[in-house]
Structure 1
């Protein structure tokens, strides 16, 4: 067409070339400088997540020992909701089951996983207050079902918690 070969086409090419030059030579350095000043050097970095290589866990050795008699301690009831977490569920369960707290009740509520989760949980059935692998309506429903199995055993001063199936609790 005549537009691309005539004066208009040449002006358009000149305009696009100038815009590209300005963007590369002036705007990009300014944009990088502005980003560094406003985002990287600012003390509060909302939305900028700085990731690092995984480091081994180091647990705090200075946790004070309980001074109450066992009968005076509150019960601690923990529910772990799980679905398709066979890679993590065993280490999560062991982080709880290996606690030395004497009044611990632990329930694992699996949502009917199709992986090896149920077999892993079944190996520890004797150390659990309750476990089951049945279909549920999601994580909140699994937590609710787990606490229903603990409800009759808990009093008003007891502690209830839930721990995801890929998390850990620090050892005693």
Structure 2
């Protein structure tokens, strides 16, 4: 009971700082942290992931390049968000990302291009729309703080999440981080 009160007091104190319920902002931060980690994890760990897939590092580099091309679709995804709603497109983006993560648990070889495209499309559908959603959610006076808090997930992914990913790969398998990130995305 006392712990619930303290959590409520903390959230109550932080909510005016950001202009929105801190619980909502923390949830958006957490999902963004997962998306940013998914997008970044392949770069420092390309060698073990390539070996696990049965690909040369250069071949996985091509797969990553193909995934990056998906980012060019973001203006069209933004148009869809304006037409069909930001929440709907964020859910579609996270669902697409989840399917990609689950496929990464079972594919080998060049088949990795399919889940890589799906995770890339999911990130491209979620991240920019999430920023627009946060902008709509908070008052103008606190928009900068709220956006900075959510966008801080990119740095936290590099500072905290990637070392954990490295430890998981070293001690278990390169697929374990994908399973954990799929659970977080759910």
Tell me the TM-score normalised to structure 1 length: 0.25
Higher strand share: 1
Larger Rg: 1
TM-score (norm: length of structure 2): 0.23
More helix by share: 2
